[in-house]
Structure 1
């Protein structure tokens, strides 16, 4: 049973985690990686093998993906970027027909996660509070502006003064005007959640975001706080959720107030901290999807107050020809 990490890019730590856990169970199995430009992908170069695919929007994407997977006996696919989640969910039956199981949430749930207004409605239906959304003719400054389908902090704005608002903000229907959650009052957390194939929550690891670069955390701390019980109480079962999900929350520094921001139904860039703390989601995925093992709840398997400080490293390719 070989595994593919798709759109691998810079996910070196995630590839290594799957390599380590896969070889404990299947010593001869391999972890492959795919990317639109694999020879310039660090994760592809440290994987057991790699291959090039078109962008997921290309009409030949699934033909190429399936052919490459079948030639390498790849039976399990782990997605890593937002834009591939919906196409993979929509083509689940096609992939499964060809012996490839994508570890991705249902089409309905992915659709909700990709639309910030829909995910706000989802949170409210589960008794989870969210930041207030203003209309564009009735708002209070400061406010936070972001697109309904954005990712990696692209096209987001903190608006403190009226002069900072432009015609672009008012005329772009994709931009939401939201209550600003002041970082002097709220602490920001990304939580790594694991949902089994039964759509039930098995683990929660809150990571305090200390420093972020290009939308990805570079300094973070595992914290065992009120979020663990809060998420267990309100999101214990989520229809369509499976595998690793990353959810963002703001927690008031002096009051028991929580505001949910979004869910990305995939491994997040900061997941390696949760893995190194003991939340072994790659192992659970391998056991659940290749052995049929039922994963039990384990909310105490990880180390609290573990600090991660990331840094840049180098991968050298000798004789590179492009």
Structure 2
């Protein structure tokens, strides 16, 4: 039963994030709240999350000058209380415009601009984390590597400094394997081997770390976990504590990835200042970040905590949404 008070939520760049949409829907049921789910996408008619939402909206790309104005218009017209970004490339625009949304009663689930600037620059991410005592792989810029190839611990793993979604990744065994030029700024890190983990963390609106949920990425498809299992590890929680402390204005749901290398130990190589693709596993294990965000916005008693189930296994499969 609902208490009749609608709480509209908008998933931005919703795409295939049907699992995240359902997490918010289930959170509303547990809280006895009427959650009205809106979803926006560049092609809403071809988005499964938009098809499953209560309302769907078209929106320009997040780098379009009209993007923020369009999202403000949707929020104003539909009384959106919470916007949930889902891709890295829209975070900076939302962080810079957060006050404009707040002025119309809409909270954007995004960390502050300082944190977003750090996590969107992978070279800076490595530098900031290293200075804070968070274990990271040795990292070089392209300029540093070409100036002194001996400074690298070959082989190296190369990735765009501002990339996302597994774009432009490569492994180089020696300096002679490098191409003459790259199409965008790159960083080069020690190639890590071993089990890969995603660690989901929740930081409350006051900036306190409330929950840490690691899961082992057993199988990955297109850069997203397909099969995973929660693992309660004190060493990964300690890393999460240092990592969050190094981010000046982190808020809400974030996740980071690491590899537990047998030679080097756990090394963090990626931070996403948003809900990660594997978040539904943490939610099912009892860490309902979606519910905790709603509680914050409605000034309800807060249930955020670090109690969740260890050893929960997620096995994803393809499912279709049919229209017409």
TM-score (norm 2): 0.90
Counterpart of 1:196 in structure 2 is 204
Aligned-partner Cα distance in 2 for 1:272–1:23: 16
The answer to which of 92-101 and 79-88 deviates more is 92-101
Aligned-partner Cα distance in 1 for 2:313–2:70: 40
User: Paired residue for 1:93, among 91, 96, 99?
Assistant: 99
Contact kept in structure 2, 1:222 and 1:306, CA below 8 Å? yes
CA RMSD, 1 decimal: 1.9
Kindly tell me: are residues 31 and 152 of structure 1, through their superposed partners in 2, closer, same or farther at Cα, counting changes over 3 Å?
same
Q: Residue deviations 1:106-145, cap 9 Å, x none?
A: 0011000000111112212321121002432323321101
TM alignment of 1:249-260, pairs within 5 A: 249-253=258-262, 257-260=265-268
Aligned-partner Cα distance in 2 for 1:168–1:292: 54
Aligned-partner Cα distance in 2 for 1:11–1:37: 14
Counterpart of 1:266 in structure 2 is 274
Counterpart of 1:180 in structure 2 is 191
Aligned-partner Cα distance in 1 for 2:170–2:37: 39
Counterpart of 2:171 in structure 1 is 158
SS of 1:29 mapped into structure 2: strand
The answer to which of 27-36 and 270-279 deviates more is 27-36
Q: Which runs of 5+ in 1 are unaligned?
A: none
Aligned-partner Cα distance in 2 for 1:305–1:235: 24
Q: How far apart are 1:225 and its partner, in Å?
A: 1.8
User: Paired residue for 1:140, among 153, 158, 162?
Assistant: 153
Counterpart of 2:53 in structure 1 is 47
User: Paired residue for 2:133, among 118, 127, 133?
Assistant: 127
**Count of residues in Structure 1 that have an aligned counterpart in Structure 2:** 310
Kindly tell me: are residues 173 and 60 of structure 1, through their superposed partners in 2, closer, same or farther at Cα, counting changes over 3 Å?
closer
Counterpart of 1:241 in structure 2 is 250
Contact kept in structure 1, 2:217 and 2:228, CA below 8 Å? yes
Kindly tell me: are residues 61 and 259 of structure 1, through their superposed partners in 2, closer, same or farther at Cα, counting changes over 3 Å?
same
Q: Residue deviations 1:180-222, cap 9 Å, x none?
A: 112xxx2211100000011111111111112111111111111
Contact kept in structure 2, 1:248 and 1:260, CA below 8 Å? yes
Counterpart of 1:308 in structure 2 is 314
Aligned-partner Cα distance in 2 for 1:262–1:236: 13
SS of 2:296 mapped into structure 1: helix
Counterpart of 1:70 in structure 2 is 76
Aligned-partner Cα distance in 1 for 2:312–2:186: 36
TM-score (norm 1): 0.90
